[in-house]
Amino acid sequence: SQTIHQWPATLVQPVGSPLSLECTVEGTSNPNLYWYRQAAGRGLQLLFYSVGIGQISSEVPQNLSASRPQDRQFILSSKKLLLSDSGFYLCAWSVGLTSGNTIYFGEGSWLTVV
Amino acid sequence: GENVEQHPSTLSVQEGDSAVIKCTYSDSASNYFPWYKQELGKRPQLIIDIRSNVGEKKDQRIAVTLNKTAKHFSLHITETQPEDSAVYFCAASLLAGTYKYIFGTGTRLKVLA
């Protein structure tokens, strides 16, 4: 069966520091991968999605970036964090060459920028 | 741009009553509509979904209806229980080939015992 792992689970970072969140999917090949952000008490904002290695689509211009160095690995990064980057970050995956396939979420990473 | 509107933002019901959450989407090419339940501090979990070739789907106490003409879909929970209390999100897939899913803003459901 497929599983998704995301880490770290929680982190507290000072403003201006770098960020790296990592996500891996097991049990499937060539998944579509996503990064969503959820601010406290708010909805799910799509940040990036990827349909293959090295293929990244950005949804929101900001100081975050994403990379996909391997088929089942997705990394969210920032060179300098802002206070507004605080939130709950969720990695997710789906499979299939068409839209309309279920998205499954990782456990999430709580980021607090202080 | 693509958008999914969800109402209400909060909903309180008495235990045993029904709850209905409604969503409207803007992209007429959307063909897949999942619903997620998110408990406090946890990841969203899929509870039910519906595809555009179906008008209604039911799974025990949960049902989803879809009106493609009006571009809206609804989640129905019957015989609500305290453990149904959570935040519920609707979502819609976008144009085929983009692999994007846009989520509604969420509904906080409180089931009062």
- Residue of A72, A26, A34 whose CA lies nearest to B94: A34
Q: How far apart are CA B28 and CA B104, in angstroms?
A: 16
pLDDT value of residue A47: 93
**Pairwise CB contact (< 8 Å): A49 & B94:** no
Q: Using CB atoms, pick whichever of B6, B96, B100 lies closest to residue A98.
A: B96
To 10 degrees, the CA torsion angle through B46, B88, A100, B76? 90
Q: The tokens of A49 are what?
A: 């999605």
Check CB contact of A42 with chain B, cutoff 8 Å.
yes
- Reported as a single tens digit per residue, the pLDDT across A39-93 is 877 789 889 999 899 899 888 867 899 999 999 999 999 999 999 999 999 999 9
Are the C-beta atoms of residues B88 and B103 closer than 8 Å to each other? no
Q: Provide the shortest C-alpha distance from residue A39 to chain B (in Å).
A: 11
Per-residue pLDDT tens digits for A29-40: 889 999 999 987
Specify which residues A15 forms β-bridges with. Answer: none
Q: How far is CA A41 from the centre of its chain?
A: 19
Comparing C-alpha atoms, which of B19, B10, B21, B29 is closest to residue B102? B29
What pLDDT, on the 0 to 100 scale, is given for residue A97? 57
Check residue A100 and give its pLDDT.
Answer: 62
Core vs surface per residue A58-82: b (16+ CB within 10 A) or e = eeeeeebebbbeeebebbbebeebe
Q: How far apart are the first and last CA of chain B?
A: 41
Answer whether B100 sits within 8 Å of A49, measured CB to CB.
Answer: yes
Is the predicted pLDDT of residue B98 greater than 70, yes or no? no
Task: Tell me what pLDDT residue A61 has.
Answer: 66
Residues B5, B35: Cα–Cα separation, whole Å: 13
- Chain B residues touching chain A at CB-CB below 8 Å: 6, 31-32, 34, 36, 42-46, 49, 51, 89, 91, 93-106
- pLDDT for residue B101 is more than 90: no
CB contact under 8 A, A32 and B51: no
Residue A99 in this model has a pLDDT that exceeds 60? no
Q: Report phi then psi at A32, rounded to 5.
A: -85, 135
Q: Do A46 and B101 touch (CB under 8 A)?
A: yes
Per the CB < 8 Å rule, is A99 touching B49?
A: no
- Hey, of A57, A60, A88, A99, which one would you mutate to test binding to chain B, going by the most B CBs within 10 A of its CB? A99
Min distance B91 CA to chain A CA atoms (Å): 10
Q: Hey, what are B32's tokens?
A: 């897949």
Minimum-distance CB partner of A43 among B49, B99, B106: B106
Looking at residue A98, its pLDDT comes to 58
| B31, B51 contact by CB (below 8 A) | yes
Q: Is A112 on the interface with B (CB under 8 A)?
A: no
> Is residue B78 within 8 Å of A79, Cβ to Cβ?
no
